[in-house]
Amino acid sequence: YGFINTCLKSLVVEKYGEETWEKLRLQAGVQDSFLTFEVYKDEITMQLVDKACKVLGVPADMVLREFGKYFFEFCKRSGYDHMLRTLGGNLYEFIENLDALHSYLFWLCLFFPQEMNAPSFRVEKNEDGSMHLHYYSDRRGLCHIVPGIIGAAALDFFNTEISMKIVNQTEEEERTGKKEHIVFLVTQNPVFPYKERNEFSSSPQYPVDSEKQIENQLTKEDLEKAKSTIGDKGNSVCPVKKSHWKTLRGIITLGKGKLLRGFDPVYPKSLWIDTKTFCNGLPFHMVFDKELKVKQAGVSIQKIVPGLQTMGICLDHYFKIIHPEVPFTISSIQKFINSQFVFQTRREMMPESWKERPMLELRGQMMWMESLQCMLYLCSPLLRTLHELEERQMHIADIAPHDVTRDLILLNQQRLAEMELSNQLERKKEELRILSKHLEEEKKKTEALLYAMLPQHVANQLKEGKRVEAGEFKECTILFSDVVTFTNICAQCEPIQIVLMLNSMYLRFDRLTTVHDVYKVETIGDAYMVVGGVPVPVPTHAERVANFALGMIMAAKGVQNPVSGNPIQIRVGIHTGPVLAGVVGEKMPRYCLFGDTVNIASRMESHGVPSKIHLSSSAYQCLKYKNFEITERGEIEVKGKGKMHTYFLIRNKTATENEIMGRP
């Protein structure tokens, strides 16, 4: 169910981070979030645990034990703190009532839907103060969660550290079906003295074996003092404002500060209730002997199952045990006598009027009467809603006025409506989360597309509706390139061949802009323009553009000329100088560069040589001491500029080809 998987996710995220959870869930092949009250396959939980062991490099028993501790804290944080605290006054009582808690949650349909089967616990005291905890479960391999949960509860509620070790592990044959049956030996060690214990508990918490030690310490003199104290003070020692525990201490706290703990009930010499009143007052009780023969039954259960009016019939002919899953024998019932028992009527033994109705279930407590050698089953109908009551054609009046089942049915009707609303809200929340995630992904795609067209800071300003002012850059390096004989290639090829050739070339060049961190300004036909030092000024703008240019020459060798089948040849021109940069246009706005530097860089390209990188004198001045091999071309006539002294960039003396191309 979702609560367990959500807790497991919370543990991984809290202790190891979101990245670890993402890696773990992808390996397990499960979704990112789980609905709290939704039922999920057990395989999902087992898969998550298995992948957690591999990802974290931790053995399964340690992962499960840590999960058990965290699950206890997660339950407390989720609002079940007080419910857990009130299960028992010591660890024995706490464990003894875990099945009752599961039964209650099942009754409310909070955790365990009809098709699910919760684990079961049975605890036995040993003479040395230790306990044997019997754990039964349909789900094999999860037993190591138990020490984590029980250990955390013992430390938090009872200030007791415990050690738990497995002393027996079998497939249980006493219960119906094959179940995992683990027996733990539990030993306790109190952490703090009584006075330092957590005041959050509703009553003093003593270790199971400490009560005898306290009683043994009491002397006859102490007892006499206690008696005289009670005799002298009478009722005056019980101020109204004191809690029941302060009142108790006021009566039986002795001079030496020892607390007398003991209670002996008083029973009447004979039972002051007649048989008829008993059967009417407890309308759903049954008494049966060792042979399961019915000796007595309440009036309401007789009305529903008329066969019970024949005393001496066998109870297992009319009922089967649903929980705990044990054979219908006195010995099995006695072994699990501290558990709540759920009986279900057998369809074949019910009156004709019941044949089409859902079978009645009873839930209650077993009590062994040693003197009569009989078992008393005190029970009530197990009904969750008014709808279930109507399905069985029963009425509130069929349930005894003192039975809280009447109130719980009415309360749960509202509770189920609230749960359904909560489930709907949780589903809507999950849908919104998924939509938000998809929206965020689409937003990132849109931003990536926008940032490919404009510098990031410029794009952000435009998104915010701000006007982008033009900026002046005192020094930057601009590169132009084009394909040699591109016009002839276009004349001899199909348009699609030209598109494929240019796309192959530009994909390579675009990757290099990322490798060398230069900004791609634009492409027009076969012309490719990049700049270094714009829009973010950097002192290494010339070196970046030079390395990018060397990469372009290498990358062009991998692009095929569709006419000749040989690698294409490109010309590259580079110039360094000042520019003005800004955004122009509202429809498809572009980040453009303006100034004479752009013109000279373009002239370096157009007056260049195939497969060569043509440098202006200003670009040469920036690179001559930067570990580049450069040769002098000399003076050439440049259109519109007259004579210019230019150079060729040959190679980077310190960088390898793989480094230039950005390959590992």
Q: Is the CB of residue 91 less than 8 Å from the CB of residue 191?
A: no
Range of weakest confidence among 257-266, 395-404, 488-497, 576-585 = 257-266
Preceding omega of 535 cis (within 30 degrees of 0): yes
pLDDT digits (tens, 9 = 90+) for 314-336: 999 999 998 888 889 999 899 88
pLDDT of residue 211: 43
**Range with lowest mean pLDDT among 2-6, 320-324, 494-498, 597-601:** 2-6
Q: How far is CA 390 from the centre of its chain?
A: 39
Kindly state the average pLDDT of the residues 494-511: 93
Peptide bond into 324 cis (omega under 30): yes
C-beta of residue 214 within 8 angstroms of C-beta of residue 117? no
Q: What digits encode the pLDDT tens for the residues 591-646?
A: 889 999 999 999 999 999 999 999 999 999 999 999 999 999 999 999 888 999 99
Residue for token pair 């500029």? 641
Looking at residue 366, its amino acid is M
For the stretch 203-261, pLDDT in tens is: 444 444 444 444 444 444 554 554 454 444 444 444 444 444 455 445 444 444 444 45
What's the pLDDT score for residue 50?
Answer: 84
Q: Tens digit of pLDDT for each residue in 441-465?
A: 998 888 888 887 888 878 888 888 7
Residue 487's CB: how many other CB atoms inside 10 A?
A: 9
**127 or 250, which is more confident?**
127
* pLDDT score at 228: 53
The H or E element that residue 199 is part of is none
Please state the rounded mean pLDDT for residues 141-161. Answer: 89
Q: Which of 33-42, 282-291, 315-324, 542-551 is least confident?
A: 33-42
The structure's pTM equals 0.48
* Confidence band, pLDDT 50/70/90 cuts, at residue 579: very high
User: Is 1 in contact with 423 (CB distance < 8 Å)?
Assistant: no
pLDDT above 90 for 552:
yes
Q: What is the 3-state secondary structure (H, E, C) of 339-397?
A: CCEEEEECHHHCCHHHCCCCCCEEEEEEEEECCCCEEEEEEEECCCCHHHHHHCCCCHH
Residue 432 is given by DSSP the state: H
- Percent of the chain clearing pLDDT 70 (strictly above): 84
Q: Average pLDDT, stretch 466-490? A: 90
Confidence of residue 36 (pLDDT cuts 50, 70, 90): low
- With b for 16 or more beta-carbon neighbours within 10 A and e for fewer, the 465-475 pattern comes to eeebeeeebeb
- Determine the topology of domain 468-661 in CATH: Alpha-Beta Plaits (3.30.70)
Structure tokens at 455: 């510098």
pLDDT at 396 exceeding the cut of 90: no
Buried b or exposed e, range 183-206, using 16+ CB within 10 angstroms:
bbebebebeeeeeebeeeeeeebb
- Judged against a pLDDT cut of 70, whether residue 313 lies above it is answered with yes
Query: Can you give the pLDDT at residue 17?
Result: 86
List, in order, residues 6 or more apart from 531 with CB less than 8 Å away. 476, 477, 478, 479, 518, 519, 521, 541, 545, 579, 593
Instruction: Name the residue ranges covered by the structural domains of the chain.
Output: 275-402, 468-661
Rg (CA), the chain: 42
CA distance 287 to 374: 7
User: With 70 as the cut, is the pLDDT of residue 514 above it?
Assistant: yes
pLDDT at 529: 95
What DSSP string describes 29-85?
Answer: T--S---TT----HHHHHHHHHHHHHHHT--HHHHHHHHHHHHHHHHIIIIIHHHHH
Q: How many CB atoms lie within 10 A of CB 363?
A: 20
Class of domain 275-402: alpha beta
Question: Once rounded to an integer, what is the mean pLDDT over residues 280-300?
Answer: 93
Residue 106: predicted pLDDT: 55
